[in-house]
Structure 1
Amino acid sequence: MATPVAVHTTTAGLRGLTWDHPRVYAPLEELARLDASVPAGCETVARPLSWERKPAAAFAAAPVRRYAGDYDLLVVAHPGLGTAVASGCLLPMETLFDAAELDHWRRTSVGASYESYRLGGHTWALPLDVSTQVAAARPDLVDEDRLPRTWKEAAALARTIPTVLCLGGPHAFLTLCSMSLAQGKEPMREEEDGTVVCRETGLAALDMMATLRARTAPPLRTCDPNSVLRAMAQDAGPAYCPLVYGYATYTRAGAYPLAFSRPPGWCADGPAGSVLGGAGLAVSARRVRDTETRAAVRDHVRRLLSDPVQRDLFPMTGGQPAARTAWTGRRTDPHWRGFCHDTLTTVEGAWLRPRMPGYLTFQERASLLLREGLAERIPHRTLLDSLDSWYREGNWH
C-alpha cells in the first residue's frame, strides 16, 4: 500500500476573533463548518479555523493589541487602525500577499472599503464587510414618493409619522459628521485649526438633531443601529429613520421588513452625507510568524474573500460583503429586496473617518457629550465649543 502524502505535520487550529453580531460572525462560522475545497491557486489548507465572539463595544473599550496575542485572525474596524498600527500588533498584508493580489482586492471591493485599511503606505486589513449610513423606512407606512430628499422634509415628515434618530454609542457624533458632509463641509480637517466641524454647519446640524430627537420615543434615544432597526421591524415600531447604518438582513427580518434608501441631503440636489462603516480582516503579528502558520492564514483569507463566498455565502447567512460582485450581481439584490440597488451610491460616496491613534475613544466621548448636551438642552454653541476644546486638548490619544 502506498504511503499517504503528509501535507502538514501541525494540526493545531487557528483562532479568530470577531464581533458578536450575526452580520459579521454568521458567514465566518458557516464557512468554518463547511468541508469545501480550496479555491484554485491557493495552497493546501493547513489547519482549521475556529471563531470566537466579543461584543463590538469590547473592541472599542480594549484596543486590538489586547487580543492580538491570543488570536491569529482578527475582525477590526478601520477607525481603530491608528491605535493598532502604532502598537505593532498587526501584520502588513504586503508580507502575506503580492501586489497583484492586493490590487485585485482593491479593485473589486465596494467604495472606499479597501482604502479604509491602508495607513502609512501599508495595507493592515482586508475588507470583509461593508456598511454605511442610509435612511430606513417601513414600506407599509411610508410610500416611496414620500421619502424625504432633504433634512427639512425629514423634519416635516416626523410631525406626521413616528420617526427615530439614532444617537446611541458613537452615533450622535457620526450623525453630526454626516449632516456636516451633507452641507459640503468635511469634519476634522487639519486646516480648521482644531475645529471638529465648521461652526455654521455644526449649528444647523445640531438644530436639526434636536428637532428629530424631540420626535424620537424616549426609550430609543440612546439606541444603537441594530436596536433602532429591530424596533422599526416590530409592530407599533417607528416608521422612518433618516440616518442609520444599513443592515440588509432587516429587509427580510422582523414582523415588518424594512426598505433602505439614500439619506436626506441639505438640499434636494446636493450631497447626502454618510460615514463609512464595515469590518476588516487583520492578521496578528504576534502569533503569525512561522512559514506554516502564514500559509494557513493565507488559505483562510483567500477563501473568505473569494468571489463565491462573498457573493453567495455571505448574503445567504446574513452577512454584508465588501466585494462589488455581491452588490451588483443578479442574485444578491433580489434576496435583499433591492437593498444593494437602493444604497450602492451612498456606500460609494461614504466618508472615510480619521484613523489616528485614539480616534475611537474620541468618537465615543464626543458622542456622549453631544447626546447629553441635547438631552439637557445645552446651547448648541456651547456644545460645539466644548467639543472643539476637548479635541484640541488631545488627551484622548
Structure 2
Amino acid sequence: MTGAYRGLTWDHPRGRDALVAASGTMPGATIDWDTHPLSGFESTPIADLASRYDVIVLDHPHLGEALAHDCLRPLDEVFDPGDLRRWATETAGPSFASYTLDGHVWALPLDAATQVAATRVDLAGEMPVLWSDVVALSQRVPVALSVAGPHALLTFASICVALGEEPGGSEGFVAAATGTRALELMTDLVARAPRYTVELDPIGLLEDMVHGDSVAHCPLVYGYVNYSATTLDRRVSFTDAPSSVPGGRVGSTLGGTGLAVTRRCEVTPELVEHLGWLLSRDAQEAFIPAHSGQPSLRSAWLADSVNDPVGGFYRDTLRSVTQAWVRPRYDGYIAFQTEAAEVVRSVVTGGSSIAAGSSELDTLYLNGIRPTEGSTR
C-alpha cells in the first residue's frame, strides 16, 4: 500500500491524542486520523463509515449492524491467535469479549470504560455507595443524571442491573416491577437536578463539573480519566457505580472503544504490528496514559504509575468495569437504543407516565428488534 491509511476516531483527547501521536511511528503504518463528535461515535451507521475509512474506532453495540453489512474484517484472520488469546485474558472486565461475536473477533479493545460515579468531593463530602445514599445526597447538594442522547436508556439499564436484573429478557426489556423502580428513582433525581444538565452528554457533564460548581455528584456517567487529573483546580473523583444493597452488584453498562479494520483496508504486516503495539504493555501502561488516553489492559488499571497522576481513577472504578453489563450486539439494537432513550427521557422529565413508558419500552423491544438466541440480527 502507498500513502497513509485513513482512520476515524472520536473528537476528545481520550479518543484522539494517543492515536495521532502514535501514527507514523512505524514505517508503512501511518494513519491519518479524522474525528467526529461523541454523538457521531454513538449513532452514525457503521457501514457508511467503513466505506470511507480503513481503521475505525467503534463501540461494541454497533457490531450487529457491521456484520449485517459485512463491512469489517475478522481480526482472527489478521492477528496471531496467540496474541488474541493473550489480549482476551489481559484486558479489563469484558472489554475484549464485547468485540467477539459469531465466533470471530471484530475489534481490539483499545480503551476500557464503563459508567461510574463522579463526585466533586469539595462540594459533596463523602461519596455515596448505595442508591439510597445518592437520593439522600441529592436532598443536600446538586446531583445530576446522565440522560442526554442514548444515555437515558443506559442509565436506566444500569439501575436495573443494580436492582438485580440484566435487561433483555424474552418477555420484555425488563420486568415491570424492576423498570418501574428504576424509572421512579430516575424521575425523583431528575426533578431535583439542575434543569440544564438533562441536555449534557457525559463529556458535557464532566466539563461542567470541572469548570463550575453547579453539580456536586453524578452517580452514573462514563468515566473519563482526563477529568480526574490531580493537577486540576476542580478535579472529579471517580468511584464505582452505586449498588442497591450493601455488597451487591454495581449497576453499570460497559462502554469503551475498539479498533476495527474495514473491508476496504489493504492490510499489511506493518499495520498489524502498529495496531498490535497499541495493545502492548509499553503502550497501555506508558504511551497511552501519557497522551490523554484510557488503557484497556488490567495491568495498566492496577499500575501505580498510571493511577497516581489521576488520583486512583483506575483502581477505584475497576470493580464497575469487571461487573459491567454488556449491551446487545444485534442488527437493530442501535435503533432500539435511540428510540428507547427518548421514551425514558420523556418519563423522567415529566412528559409521560411511568406506566406508559414501561409499556412503550417493551413494545419497542419486542416488535421485531429483539433477536433470536445466538443471532446477530
TM-score > 0.5 by shorter chain:
yes
Residue type matched to 1:26 in 2?
Answer: D
Aligned to 1:165: 145
Q: Give the counterpart of 1:181 among 120, 137, 161.
A: 161
Write the distance in 2 (CA, Å) between the matches of 1:62 and 1:346: 27
Write the distance in 2 (CA, Å) between the matches of 1:66 and 1:158: 42
1:1-397 mapped onto 2 (5 Å cutoff):
10-32=1-23, 35=25, 45-143=27-125, 146-190=126-170, 193=171, 195-252=172-229, 255-288=233-266, 293-394=267-368
What do the CA deviations read for 1:32-67 (whole angstroms, capped 9, x no partner)? 15x4xx6xxxxxx42422111112322444311112
Shift of 1:189: 2.0
Is the contact made by 2:238 and 2:316 (CA closer than 8 Å) also made in structure 1?
yes
Cα–Cα, structure 1 residues 189 and 172, in superposed 2: closer, same or farther, change >3 Å?
A: same
Shift of 1:158: 0.4
Is the contact made by 2:288 and 2:294 (CA closer than 8 Å) also made in structure 1?
yes
Secondary structure of 1:305's partner?
A: coil
Is the contact made by 2:23 and 2:29 (CA closer than 8 Å) also made in structure 1?
no
Shift of 1:92: 0.3
What do the CA deviations read for 1:212-257 (whole angstroms, capped 9, x no partner)? 0011111111211111111111232311111111111101275400
Is the contact made by 1:90 and 1:284 (CA closer than 8 Å) also made in structure 2?
yes
Answer with 1 or 2: which has the greater Rg: 1
Question: What is the RMSD computed on CA atoms of the aligned residues?
Answer: 1.7
Shift of 1:150: 1.6
Structure 1 residue ranges without an equivalent (≥5): 1-9, 39-44
Write the distance in 2 (CA, Å) between the matches of 1:364 and 1:163: 24
Write the distance in 1 (CA, Å) between the matches of 2:17 and 2:253: 24
- TM-score, normalising length from structure 1? 0.89
Q: Report percent identity of matched pairs.
A: 37
Is the contact made by 1:15 and 1:73 (CA closer than 8 Å) also made in structure 2?
yes
What do the CA deviations read for 1:281-317 (whole angstroms, capped 9, x no partner)? 00011233xxxx3323202211211211111111111
Residue type matched to 2:104 in 1?
Answer: H
Aligned to 2:373: none
Write the distance in 1 (CA, Å) between the matches of 2:222 and 2:369: 29
Is the contact made by 2:8 and 2:57 (CA closer than 8 Å) also made in structure 1?
yes
Is the contact made by 2:73 and 2:261 (CA closer than 8 Å) also made in structure 1?
yes
Secondary structure of 1:140's partner?
A: helix
Secondary structure of 1:18's partner?
A: strand
Residue type matched to 1:243 in 2?
Answer: L
Secondary structure of 1:51's partner?
A: strand
Is the contact made by 2:55 and 2:265 (CA closer than 8 Å) also made in structure 1?
no
- TM-score, normalising length from structure 2? 0.94
Shift of 1:395: 6.1
Residue type matched to 1:13 in 2?
Answer: A
Residue type matched to 2:40 in 1?
Answer: A
Secondary structure of 2:123's partner?
A: coil
Residue type matched to 2:228 in 1?
Answer: T
How many residue pairs align between the two structures? Answer: 370
Shift of 1:377: 4.5
Is the contact made by 2:336 and 2:369 (CA closer than 8 Å) also made in structure 1?
no
Secondary structure of 2:275's partner?
A: helix
Write the distance in 2 (CA, Å) between the matches of 1:376 and 1:346: 30
Write the distance in 2 (CA, Å) between the matches of 1:269 and 1:330: 26
Residue type matched to 1:303 in 2?
Answer: W
What do the CA deviations read for 1:2-38 (whole angstroms, capped 9, x no partner)? xxxxxxxx531111111112211111011115x4xx6
Write the distance in 2 (CA, Å) between the matches of 1:294 and 1:337: 40
Write the distance in 1 (CA, Å) between the matches of 2:299 and 2:71: 31
Write the distance in 2 (CA, Å) between the matches of 1:47 and 1:313: 17
Name the stretch that deviates more: 240-249 or 49-58.
Answer: 49-58
Is the contact made by 1:68 and 1:287 (CA closer than 8 Å) also made in structure 2?
no
Cα–Cα, structure 1 residues 14 and 199, in superposed 2: closer, same or farther, change >3 Å?
A: same
Structure 2 residue ranges without an equivalent (≥5): 371-376
